[in-house]
Amino acid sequence: MIHIAVWGAGDSAATHVRSFLKYSGKCRITAVINHNADRAEALVREYGLTEARVFTSLNAAQDAVPVDAVTLAALKKAYDSIPPLETEKHDAQILNFLNAIDRKEPLLVDGAEGRKSMELITAIYESCVTGREVLLPLTETDPFYTAEGRTAALPHFHEKTRSTARSGSGSASFA
């Protein structure tokens, strides 16, 4: 059983809840995180998420997880030893990538590390869809190993109604 915290602003939280409820026998929503507590409570009521706790921020949800004093002190010491960041999130990733190209700093997350993250996410999806335990690393015979296999196996929430194609002149046309 996978325990999931659902977060989002506005309708995205409801979309996440609906997506995971399709796998209600395999996934259990145990937290709803939304900056608007009333909206989070409404989602809990609307979808009957009786086990879910409501938090108004990811930090609040993380703070609710009990941690012993020794572990907390070790985590704080490790966190305090990290130098301040010039940037964060996508901006930091892009800046690091550009600096690595210019040989100003090493690439912090290379393709191999990125692949591990994608493999873990893929395994979570596969486990939710199949209801089985998924062992890592995925093998080439696993149906979720390729994009085509994932596309065939995963549920489709919205069918594609438009596409883009390149014409012989190199310009894009929209159908």
pTM, 2 dp: 0.43
Q: In whole angstroms, what is the distance from residue 5 CA to residue 19 CA?
A: 13
pLDDT on residue 142 = 93
Q: Where are the domains of the chain?
A: 1-82, 84-156
pLDDT on residue 103 = 94
pLDDT on residue 132 = 84
In the three-class reduction of DSSP (H, G, I as helix; E, B as strand; rest coil), residue 13 is classed as: helix
CATH fold, domain 1-82, is Rossmann fold (3.40.50)
CA dihedral 114, 116, 119, 123 (to 10 degrees): -140
pLDDT on residue 61 = 63
Walk along the chain (175 residues) and give the pLDDT tens digit of each residue.
455 555 555 556 666 666 666 655 555 666 666 667 777 777 777 777 766 777 666 666 666 666 677 877 787 788 788 787 677 778 888 888 899 999 999 998 888 888 888 888 888 888 888 888 888 899 999 999 998 998 888 887 766 676 665 555 555 555 5
Q: Is the dihedral of CA 9, 15, 19, 20 positive or negative?
A: positive
pLDDT on residue 154 = 83
End-to-end CA distance of the chain: 42
Tokens representing 39 are 């909206």
> Do the beta carbons of residue 142 and residue 149 sit within 8 Å?
yes
Q: In whole angstroms, what is the distance from residue 34 CA to residue 103 CA?
A: 40
pLDDT on residue 116 = 87
pLDDT on residue 110 = 86
pLDDT on residue 139 = 92
Question: Any alpha helices (H) in 64-158, and if so which ranges?
Answer: 69-80, 89-101, 111-130, 147-153
